[in-house]
Chains A and B, each alone.
Chain A
Amino acid sequence: MIVGHLLRRGLNRWIVLSLAVILAIGIAVPALNLLLPVTHPLHVPTYIVALFGKYLCYALLALSLDLVWGYVGILSLGHGAFFALGGYAMGMYLMRQIGPRGVYGDPVLPDFMVFLNWQELPWFWYGFDRFWFAALMVMVVPGLLAFIFGWFAFRSRVTGVYLSIITQAMTYALMLAFFRNNMGFGGNNGLTDFKDILGYSVQAGETRAALFFASAAALALGVLFVSALGASRYGKLMIAVRDAEARTRFIGYRPEYVKLFAFVAAAVMAGIAGALYVPQVGIINPGEFAPANSIEIVVWTAVGGRGTIIGPIIGAILVNAGKSWLTGFAPEFWLFALGGLFVAVTLFLPKGIVGTAIDGWDGLRRMRDGKRRERGEDAPLTGPQPEAAE
């Protein structure tokens, strides 16, 4: 009977639905790829599995950005850095798994280190031969960076565009750093030529299927996490900080911690997305740190609708599908399209596809409520208040 409740109940229904869709895709796509013969009309080609697996990782990445941008209002222009760090952590594990099968056949050192005449493994590569350690680092490294960065930034009350600009500077600095050969991460070429993951060949169809499902499952978990967080009091606090930061401070909250938690959580999510992305595309290089990449994540989220849960997922998939399609036949048009998309979304669709749809839904409800109110069934929602002067 009341808009807020309906909206929330409606959204929850949407979330359950989207969870079901994500998991169904996660099972169906690899199954149709593996189980059906190539000639079957419903067979999903392997390249589609790889492509969609990539989209799922992007969707998780966009969702993580939405957590900080849509909910807390922090426009991070360096979110790709967390994705790339997660990817590098996974890449380091995959490099260690190559073992003596590298071009130079060194049992311990990755090829690029042999090429650079390094005699022993740098200390920060220790432990990455074990999956559990790498998996931990996938979350710890981006999380720690986000924590340190956010700790300084939020406590000093760096907000708005200033924060956006320094997050961009952060990823730019990391890009420059990772391009250096003596950083020990493969320099320009990054990490590639992976062979095995957990003992299975990364090229094998079954491994790809498993990675695809893992991406879908991670995305589903991400959706659950964000929606649960959004429904909690903390979720309301995030919105409160976004809309009126000073007010939260004057009623006793510390907005810097609210932001810090969301920032770190989003960084960890982005790291996981990066870790799932790398074995599916087979390479991670410093280009992933490029500021342009980070800002592209922003447009996915904006197109889908920030501050919603399925918006960024839809945005990431739509924009990337558009990119794959357009670069297929007219690559020079892609940047025009992307640039135009930025302008068009900010000018004409500031709430994104899903946000606008929810508004439309809301409007319909309100109209119905309004009619009901005219019949005297409910108290007025807005306008002058008749009860004020008793």
Chain B
Amino acid sequence: MVFIRTIIAIFLLVFTALLALPAGAQEDDSALRQAISGLGAEKGYSKLRQAIDVVVETGDPRGARVLDALAEGDVYRREGDGAVFIVSGRGKERNLIDPVTSEQVGTIAKSELKKVRVNNSVRRTVRDAIGALTLGAKDPDIRLSAVRTMIDNPDPDSLDVIATALEREGDDDVRTALEQARAAAILLSDAAVPDKVAAIETIREMGGQEALSLLVRARNAAGAEMRDATEAAIASVQKRLQYWSLGQNVWYGLSLGSVLLLAAIGLAITFGVMGVINMAHGEMVMLGAYTTFMVQEIMRTSFPGMLDWSLPIALPLAFLVAGSVGFAMERGVIRLLYGRPLETLLATWGISLILQQTVRTIFGPTNREVSNPSYMSGAFQLGELSITWNRLWIVVFALVVFAVLLYAMNRTSLGLKMRAVTQNRRMAAAMGIRTPWVDALTFALGSGIAGIAGVALSQIDNVSPNLGQGYIIDSFMVVVFGGVGNLWGTLIGAFSLGIANKFLEPFAGAVLGKILVLVFIILFIQKRPRGLFALKGRAVEA
């Protein structure tokens, strides 16, 4: 957890620093002021456009703000002296905002203001101008996003601006983007064929959806001599996009697989290791999710500043809550039914109904809101992949839980005892292992893990009394498919079912994909009744 916290801290630090940078700049602004005052000159739209160009020529990124306000219709001229301001507020008294420093400099009656009018052609100019201005920003990220806007809206007129920017650009990423922007603009200009072919090549290398739409636009505009090159580039980009979508499917599959793994891994212990069919397993997951909800509720009311810590706090609590319910179940009911698997199945189903109804009575039948802490929300881009943080953390978390469990089963004393009891109960008892105690602890462990799965699932699923129901069949499928009594089998089973599901979805749709997977498992179990990684030998049949 420390590791995760550190990463989050670093991430937050960088992010706030980004926001703080532009505000800190303080330099000579007389040239910019001069240029901005030109916007107030009352000479029609074409003159206004020229005035905008003057602002652009200052190369001062702060000019972008006033231009933005101009496009929004928030820029006014003061009747008295013709000075230009950004104006905010409604009613008779308006706030005057300095166009350069963005500070409020006073208020003024509405009647003393005259709006600087814009039309669509001016707005277009403004957009390009903002692009050009931000190209001069100090922060490379701002420059980069400005260039991206230009790539999305290529304009042959901006070629000069791009050329200037390229000359002084030092950042490699921005340079690349600028070249792409130039290529995009060239494609729409009346440049010579070799230039255009080179531009196509640049765009092709860029890849992605934007490249595709740029190329399609170019193809529609291009003459015969360009068609083949464009078509080839389009095909190439499409092919690469296909690979990305393959990657996207794999990622979605891994993400679903990690959810399945979390839901099933507790079951791999209770069913796989102990041979107990716990139909209330899904309800253990649900209890974990509701524990998270409770923790967040308490934090919201008592310690609002600590909301980000709710998940780390909920994890051990959920383990304890679900684990102790599991412990009670084992002692109270399951203990009496060993050796009668079908009866165990029915009794635990009964318990699942009782647990569901209890939660429904206490918390109500509707979904409860569990919020994502800051490090679980948002997404980032990896090539063409959009990866949400909560999904990424859940994949990591599932793998961590798996690793810890594997360690617990294979390297700890309790794990050794568990395996001893499952392999030969009487021998284990004869060696002084308290088998009933080990049974209860094993079951509590399996249930507790379902509980922490619930904490993770509360981040991506609706927290309602029916939460567990949705996972129980899938979890059993994973355990049975992977091979009972084998944690690795559960891992492979979860991820292969997750990926299979996501690969079927584009062809068959979500529901039919799920049905196909179920049908496949039903057939698979009949072919290999003991799952993918079955224990072989006569001990199994006995």
Stretch at the interface among A55-63, A98-106, A330-338: A330-338
Contact status B356-A335, CB under 8 Å? yes
* Contact string against B for A residues 152-191, beta-carbon threshold 8 Å, 1 for contact and 0 otherwise: 1101111011101110111011001101100000000000
* Contact string against A for B residues 348-360, beta-carbon threshold 8 Å, 1 for contact and 0 otherwise: 0111111011101
Contact status A161-B342, CB under 8 Å? yes
Stretch at the interface among A110-118, A192-200, A211-219, A342-350: A342-350
Residues on B with beta carbons closer than 8 Å to the beta carbon of A157: 529
Residues on A with beta carbons closer than 8 Å to the beta carbon of B515: 173, 176-177
Say which residue of B343, B353, B357 sits within 8 Å of A346 (CB atoms).
B343
Q: A172-B473, A339-B350 in contact; A166/B525 too (CB < 8 A)?
A: yes
Residues on A with beta carbons closer than 8 Å to the beta carbon of B352: 339
Residues on A with beta carbons closer than 8 Å to the beta carbon of B342: 75, 160-161, 164
Q: A161-B341, A179-B511 in contact; A342/B518 too (CB < 8 A)?
A: no
Residues on B with beta carbons closer than 8 Å to the beta carbon of A302: 346
Interface membership of B527, Cβ < 8 A = yes
CA distance A291 to B477 in the complex (A): 14
Say which residue of A75, A180, A338 sits within 8 Å of B353 (CB atoms).
A338
Contact status A347-B347, CB under 8 Å? yes
Interface membership of A295, Cβ < 8 A = yes
Residues on A with beta carbons closer than 8 Å to the beta carbon of B512: 177, 180
CA distance A168 to B347 in the complex (A): 16
Residues on A with beta carbons closer than 8 Å to the beta carbon of B523: 152
Contact status B518-A169, CB under 8 Å? yes
* Contact string against A for B residues 323-347, beta-carbon threshold 8 Å, 1 for contact and 0 otherwise: 0000000000100110011111111
Residues on A with beta carbons closer than 8 Å to the beta carbon of B518: 169-170, 172-173, 176
Interface membership of A4, Cβ < 8 A = no
CA distance A336 to B354 in the complex (A): 5
Contact status B473-A168, CB under 8 Å? yes
Interface membership of B514, Cβ < 8 A = yes
How many whole Å from A304's CB to the nearest CB in chain B? 14
Say which residue of B337, B344, B353, B511 sits within 8 Å of A176 (CB atoms).
B511
Residues on A with beta carbons closer than 8 Å to the beta carbon of B514: 173, 176
Residues on B with beta carbons closer than 8 Å to the beta carbon of A347: 333, 336-337, 347
CA distance A302 to B344 in the complex (A): 13
Interface membership of B111, Cβ < 8 A = no
Contact status A295-B511, CB under 8 Å? no
Interface membership of A341, Cβ < 8 A = yes
Say which residue of A153, A173, A346 sits within 8 Å of B519 (CB atoms).
A173
Instruction: Name B's interface SS.
Output: helix
How many whole Å from A65's CB to the nearest CB in chain B? 13
CA distance A229 to B345 in the complex (A): 28
How many whole Å from B504's CB to the nearest CB in chain A? 13
Tell me the count of chain B residues lying within 8 A, CB to CB, of chain A.
41
Interface membership of B237, Cβ < 8 A = no
Q: Which of A153, A156, A160, A343 is the most central at the interface, judged by chain B CB atoms within 10 Å of its CB?
A: A343
Interface membership of A299, Cβ < 8 A = yes
Contact status B473-A169, CB under 8 Å? yes
Interface membership of A268, Cβ < 8 A = no
Within 8 A of A (CB), among B340-390: 340-347, 349-354, 356-358, 360-361
How many whole Å from A386's CB to the nearest CB in chain B? 34
Say which residue of B277, B349, B519 sits within 8 Å of A161 (CB atoms).
B277
Say which residue of B337, B354, B477, B521 sits within 8 Å of A340 (CB atoms).
B354
CA distance A318 to B107 in the complex (A): 81
In the complex, residue of chain A having the shortest beta-carbon distance to the beta carbon of B329? A343
Q: A172-B518, A299-B346, A339-B357 in contact; A165/B529 too (CB < 8 A)?
A: no
Say which residue of B341, B349, B529 sits within 8 Å of A342 (CB atoms).
B349
Interface membership of A298, Cβ < 8 A = yes
Number of A-B contacts (CB under 8 A): 123
Residues on A with beta carbons closer than 8 Å to the beta carbon of B357: 332, 335-336, 339
Residues on B with beta carbons closer than 8 Å to the beta carbon of A342: 346-347, 349-351, 353
CA distance A77 to B351 in the complex (A): 17
Q: Which of B360, B512, B518 is the most central at the interface, judged by chain A CB atoms within 10 Å of its CB?
A: B518
Residues on B with beta carbons closer than 8 Å to the beta carbon of A75: 342, 345
In the complex, residue of chain A having the shortest beta-carbon distance to the beta carbon of B518? A173
Say which residue of A164, A177, A292 sits within 8 Å of B345 (CB atoms).
A164
Interface membership of B480, Cβ < 8 A = yes
Interface membership of B413, Cβ < 8 A = no
CA distance A340 to B515 in the complex (A): 32
Interface membership of B193, Cβ < 8 A = no
How many whole Å from B540's CB to the nearest CB in chain A? 12
CA distance A149 to B523 in the complex (A): 9
CA distance A239 to B212 in the complex (A): 68
Interface membership of B522, Cβ < 8 A = yes
CA distance A356 to B523 in the complex (A): 39
How many whole Å from A272's CB to the nearest CB in chain B? 25
Say which residue of A162, A180, A343, A350 sits within 8 Å of B350 (CB atoms).
A343
Interface membership of B120, Cβ < 8 A = no
CA distance A343 to B328 in the complex (A): 14
CA distance A345 to B350 in the complex (A): 10
Task: Please give the residue numbers on chain A whose beta carbons come within 8 Å of chain B beta carbons, in ascending order.
Answer: 75, 77, 149, 152-153, 155-158, 160-162, 164-166, 168-170, 172-173, 176-177, 179-180, 291-292, 295, 298-299, 302, 332, 335-336, 338-343, 345-347, 350
Give 6 new A-B contacts, CB below 8 A, not counting A152-B522, A179-B511, A346-B340: A161-B341, A166-B522, A169-B522, A335-B357, A339-B352, A339-B357
Top 10 closest pairs, chain A to chain B, by CB: A342-B350, A339-B353, A339-B354, A335-B357, A156-B526, A173-B518, A339-B350, A346-B347, A346-B343, A343-B350
- Between A and B, 14 residue pairs with Cβ closer than 8 Å are A75-B345, A165-B473, A170-B522, A176-B515, A177-B515, A292-B469, A295-B346, A335-B353, A335-B356, A336-B358, A339-B357, A343-B350, A346-B350, A350-B340
